[in-house]
Chain A
């Protein structure tokens, strides 16, 4: 219990720090949301000044931060200058799409990486290991941006799958099945990029954890007892290697999230990515702070879940906590 309370308090402090840091950095960035209006010859300086005052941008930074904290406590997370609306609903509506993307890509990446990584470790220096290594190396040196552009090129050339978006605007058929099929088709390209982008790191970590586990005396003993090799790999060695892999699961969600923001922009996926990019460029301060906070929250939640799983899986951590 102490462990969980400690984790929770750490998370609250971490999120406070993230909010203060992102808020301060954005204030220090030159330019403001209202600068673009000044380039419009039909809007007067007085109107721009009135709008700045309306949104509280004429107040000192600390005062604005306190106001934002109050607004965050109310659940609004500040007011977007561009949308003239509370930030929280804007972000949550798009975060769902981001979560759908990463929520599919993450398990898919693990489902693919786990057997390949385990077999690579079990068949060290044989063809499956070398093949896995080669694929991981190629994917590691290929930026996600290039993967995304390659898939877009393929989509345009072959028309096998959509070249962006989340749904067809003019559906050919109606009904839930047609909608799901349409969604799956639209998910194909961004999920593929995310899966391929996260595979090399997962493969290498799984392989390395498994190699360590396979060298332990109890695995050697199990082999000498004639237990089938595949059973040793997937039942005993994998369980022994699970601790570092559970930590990796939490971190892989965080890294996948940050990659997904980029992929969303390239693949026109209506998640947090396009909103965050537009808000950064437009200096829509509270939207940026809100999106950063949400990413921070995802990271905290993911690591918390992996910590809890570790707590359950690893008796050593439980012993530490009791002590």
Chain B
């Protein structure tokens, strides 16, 4: 059986896997007969071994329907499977539990064919009813699944119809670009184990951390073995996993993965240095530099996997809901002047930020799209170098002047002073705010850095709007612009510079709304790219947020780990856990 790629978005459907039907004898390592396994094209490894990784906090649940926190999702991702998967390395979609899919001409219908003969990790068979049940659970308003919002297209839920035991049709209320990306991370649940809880209205309380391993089943490469409160969680190899290597050996190679819980990034690095863990998923530039010196002596390597999706930016408060007499509203007169915002952007030394904060392992930004989204970034956006002279000219044009002592004053003679709010727990952003403070001094602007605890910052940004400027960062889970709709639409939750707009406050925001809505329903990637490029141009011209810098993805792993290929998308290191393997000697020693 050959590949089953279908029309739709050919550029996004390139994959490193092929689908094969393998008849074979039944064993833990070899595939069952009539199982349509997915054959990986990655280098063949050795079976065995116990991988130990750290999590920066304890997972809170093993329930894919209600999980929100990163740690839970990271563990759940190892235990569950989705219909169509985004390859974290290529950033393209590829077949997973669905061996193929067809898109109707109008882009409203997706017909998915399930792989035959697959089993959950407890040995029970997978069929279309499990998929149907899973989507009903995610979409049920009473369950309050965070994934529900992803499955609402044009405000209406996706409808699913079971055609036969292997075929399902998903209908969308309106065309949705790259709709197959929605299937990624919507874990398919075993109806047999969860239907009763769902009918009793207790689905959100099931599959907590205290659940017995026999009560949890999934379609991921690993299944639950043991959870020790506050210490670690161990997963063991799923003997029914649906991927095999080129030699027909069923994946994963590793026998076990243990996640140990650490309270912070420092502890994560210490445990890695001490040899307690085999890889580290995210390193700061300082830790990277420190570990780089030790790598040869301690048989591990640190890797710079290139740009991440995280973009940091300076936000000036443009919220229109503030009382006119408030102190912030008076300063908004400056912030609302596009020339003022452009001058601020020109005065910021992004290269210094990269050098001082990221030790050269980052990228300066002039658009909120990072180079990690190589397809979507608009490379035509100008990268004006830092220029205090140019910034001064813009401020003069906007009616600002300078007092005798060099202080910038507005047309009423008031000195230009504002505070920059940032999260105290993120030292990099505190440093960014400090560099901005220094840079703005050269313009005669007095900026005060106010670092508060993260949730206090969030409260001021989202609820009270009690801030003047802020240094924040966002990191999308996907490269596709659809994942950022809530940031760019004027009615979006994360339309940070002016939250809660009923209508676009400016003509350029109205244009962004129109372009984003249009790209959402445009099915051709190149046509979408043109629309999104225009969005980036508008943002670069009007600077509702002033893009600053993006850090690289820095990770570490033991030398003996094979097929280790860190990716820009989360999870950077464990995205191909089924293909990771230890060298023969390490695997044998661990046994």
Contacts and interface: CB of A to CB of B under 8 A. Distances in A.
A191 B261 CA distance: 20
A147 to B, nearest CB: 16
Contacts of B273: 156, 163
Interface in B255-309: 258, 260-264, 267, 270-271, 273-274, 276
B229 A93 contact: yes
B263 A38 contact: no
A167 interface: yes
Contacts of A164: 262, 267, 270-271, 274, 276
A270 B261 contact: yes
Given A30-B459, A281-B455, A169 B232 contact: yes
B144 interface: yes
B325 to A, nearest CB: 23
Nearest to B56: A278
A268 B590 contact: no
Q: How large is the interface on A (under 10, 10 to 19, 20 to 34, 35 or more residues)?
A: 35 or more
A281 B61 contact: no
A291 interface: no
A182 to B, nearest CB: 12
A133 B96 CA distance: 69
B182 to A, nearest CB: 10
Contact of B455 (A155, A271, A283): A283
A166 interface: yes
Name the residue among B69, B229, B492 with the largest chain A CB count within 10 angstroms.
Answer: B229
A42 B458 contact: no
B208 A85 contact: yes
Given A156-B270, A170-B50, A84 B462 contact: no
Given A47-B144, A162-B276, A169-B276, A38 B208 contact: no
Contact of B263 (A40, A47, A268): A268
A266 B425 CA distance: 16
A270 B146 contact: no
A26 B448 CA distance: 28
Nearest to B455: A31
Nearest to B54: A268
A89 B209 CA distance: 11
A166 B587 CA distance: 24
B582 to A, nearest CB: 12
A32 B270 contact: no
B389 to A, nearest CB: 37
A173 interface: no
Nearest to B59: A83
A270 B229 contact: yes
B52 interface: yes
Contacts of A85: 205, 208-210
Nearest to A33: B455
Contact of A170 (B69, B457, B483, B590): B590
16 contacts: A30-B456, A31-B455, A32-B459, A35-B463, A39-B474, A41-B485, A42-B149, A82-B60, A152-B270, A163-B276, A167-B228, A274-B58, A275-B230, A277-B263, A281-B454, A282-B455
Interface of B: 50, 52, 57-58, 60-61, 66, 68-69, 141, 144, 146, 148-150, 152, 204-205, 208-210, 228-232, 234, 258, 260-264, 267, 270-271, 273-274, 276, 425, 453-460, 462-464, 474, 476-477, 483-487, 492-494, 590
Given A37-B68, A169-B258, A265-B264, 4 more contacts: A31-B453, A35-B459, A41-B484, A89-B210
